[in-house]
Amino acid sequence: MAARALLAAVALLTALAVPGARAQQQTPQPAASPEAALTDALTAACRQDDQAFSKSLTADNAAAFRALPPAQRTAMMKRFVLLELPGRPLLSTGNNGQRTVRCESPSFTTELRFGETRVRENLAFVAMEVPVPGDDPHKITFGFVREGGGWKIISIGVMLLDVAAMAKQWEQADLDAGEDAAISDLRSVASALDNYRRAYGKLPDTLTMLGPPPPEGISPDTAGLVDADLAAGDKDGYAIRYTVIPAHGNLTEEDVNNAETFSLSSTPKEYGKAGRRSFFLDSSGILRGADKQGAAATSADPRVGSS
């Protein structure tokens, strides 16, 4: 009985130990050299594989990278290989030992040639050239630090790679771009309103009357002056409200129509996503705006730019 119990215990320990051993064998090993680490990073970036790419970053940067929105993670990987679409990585080594990573996408191919590697204790720097047709090669140096038994990227050229700080800069850049788009949309609507008045002698009752026409052609009800989104007052994450301000006084109908004015307000639909500022534009052409915490801007708000 004792022998059987001993054999059963050994069998149980073996069953528990083997999966663990297999799992340990399957765990990816850290890149043994800076060149291998850079190859892994570029290969992952070429495929736009964010999970694999994060393994090339330091622990802090990897955590910040994984916390980015998917679009920003993809944008960062695009910068590494200078391609918009995911590609197929091809690795080669020349007769002189120079390593090259090619990234082939459906529309374009980039070639990334490794140069000299300099190692200084726990730091390493890998030079790289990117051929540019008709021009001198673009040269850049990647910096690495030894962490967790492998090499992790810490710098690109003279820029220290700080993904958390970069994320804040990208977020602000996205907000600035969203607000610029909202301003452009507002001016497009104002211009369309002026064109409508010149064409039909009065302002439209609603923005929908500025929208795309049916196949039979334009009319006062569908003037074809703006796209469908602007006609609906909903574009680039902003909601646009249009108001006609009637003329006052004892005027003829024609004078009343000519004297009518309008105001437009543009407000972020989700505050802090497409933008933070709200905007106001009227017949005077003066643009006003401020951070209203999502509320509508008015004629009392500060002027924006030199408008």
Q: How far is Cα 204 from Cα 196, in angstroms, rounded to an integer?
A: 7
Q: How far is Cα 84 from Cα 48, in angstroms, rounded to an integer?
A: 10
| Structure confidence by residue, pLDDT tens digits, 219-277 | 999 999 999 999 999 999 999 999 998 876 555 565 556 678 999 999 999 998 889 99
Higher pLDDT, 69 or 167: 69
Given pLDDT bands bounded at 50, 70 and 90, which one contains residue 134? confident
> 25-34, 122-131, 292-301: lowest mean pLDDT where?
25-34
| Structure confidence by residue, pLDDT tens digits, 137-154 | 888 999 999 998 899 999
- Do the beta carbons of residue 270 and residue 295 sit within 8 Å? no
Which sequence spans correspond to the domains of the chain?
A: 29-161, 171-291
Does this model's pTM top 0.75? no
Give the per-residue pLDDT at 171.
77
**CATH (residue range 29-161):** 3.10.450.50
Q: Closest Cα partner for 186 from 230, 232, 140?
A: 230
| Structure confidence by residue, pLDDT tens digits, 167-198 | 777 777 788 889 999 999 999 999 999 999 99
Higher pLDDT, 5 or 167: 167
Give the per-residue pLDDT at 4.
45
| Structure confidence by residue, pLDDT tens digits, 280-304 | 999 999 999 999 999 999 999 999 9
Listed in sequence order, the residues at least 6 apart from 266 whose beta carbon sits closer than 8 Å to its beta carbon are 182, 183, 185, 186, 238, 239, 240, 241, 278, 279, 280, 281, 297
Q: 194: which 2 tokens?
A: 């002026």
Q: Closest Cα partner for 233 from 191, 196, 182?
A: 182
Higher pLDDT, 212 or 81: 212
Q: What is the mean pLDDT of residues 51-62?
A: 94
Q: 274: which 2 tokens?
A: 């497409």
Higher pLDDT, 29 or 270: 270
> 54-63, 94-103, 237-246: lowest mean pLDDT where?
94-103
Q: What is the mean pLDDT of residues 192-217?
A: 94
Higher pLDDT, 96 or 91: 91
Give the per-residue pLDDT at 3.
40
Listed in sequence order, the residues at least 6 apart from 286 whose beta carbon sits closer than 8 Å to its beta carbon are 303, 307
Higher pLDDT, 1 or 168: 168
